[in-house]
Amino acid sequence: MFSPSLTPMDIAGRNALITGGAHRVGRALTLALSEAGADVFIHYKSSSEAAEATADEARAAGRKAATGSADLGDPATGGILIEMATAALGPISILVNSASGFPTDSLESIRIEDWHRAHDLTLASPVFLTQAFAAALPSDMEGAVVNITDVHTKTPYRNHFSYTVAKGGLDTFTRAAALALAPRIRVNAVALGLILPPAGKDQAYVEALAEGLPLAKVGGTDPVVSATIALIQNPFITGEIVRTDGGSHLVSPQ
């Protein structure tokens, strides 16, 4: 039977599942967890080569790494993904919900099918993946979940309506799941600001945007990694959403 403790969670020797773990922020988190001593299961949808390349880097750090494909646009795949990861590595005690789309739409233009597609991937899949994670976690083991969300749930994007609403739901889910799964599983989130250039944009684009931030710089993935690792390790934080945004929440949206 699980006994709550204030001892920091030791990542070394644990098994972690990272969705969208082959690209961008997900890749950085995968490699950071492997460097911290975790064996990693890298979820991908279609980027098998990138996933295997990331797995090779994790193995170079001396850890086990496995990959698996699932379309998280179908929330029912959550249980299957947990089964795949468990079969490859053993019980999964760290879950990072990083996979997400970033569709361009507005309240005026959104169609029902687009709405469902965005919410299935960005909100429903983390919900049901966390449900499957909790059900599969051995009763004597503590677990940690970190959801990757967005600071713009507070200052919404004008042209990413369905995404923003879905990420706002992920914020609420983080708090609700933290309460539902305590004390054995802690659930937190990291809300991203100006971290990497969006698809189709270059570094100069985000550096220009960064001039309007209090910290006047682009974050890159290192601050996201640091916040995520800290939330996983800290035994007395749950239901928290940590903003890694260079202070953008302190200024009015343009």
- As beta bridge partners, residue 197 has none
163 noted as active-site residue: yes
Separation of alpha carbons 10 and 3, rounded Å: 16
Q: How far apart (Å, rounded) are the C-alpha atoms in residues 48 and 130? A: 24
The span from the first CA to the last CA of the chain, in angstroms, equals 52
* CA dist., res. 46 & res. 186, Å (int): 30
Report CA 59 to chain centroid distance, whole Å. Answer: 21
Q: Which one of 44, 157, 163, 205 is the catalytic residue? A: 163
Instruction: Catalogue the long-range contacts made by 22-27 (C-beta closer than 8 Å, 24 or more residues apart).
Output: 22/47, 22/50, 22/51, 22/53, 22/54, 22/67, 23/47, 23/50, 24/196, 24/221, 25/98, 25/148, 25/192, 25/195, 25/196, 25/221, 25/224, 26/96, 26/98, 26/99, 26/148, 27/54
Contact 94, 16 (CB under 8 A): yes
Specify burial of residue 250 (Cβ count, 10 A radius: 0-12, 13-18, 19+): exposed
Catalytic residues: 163
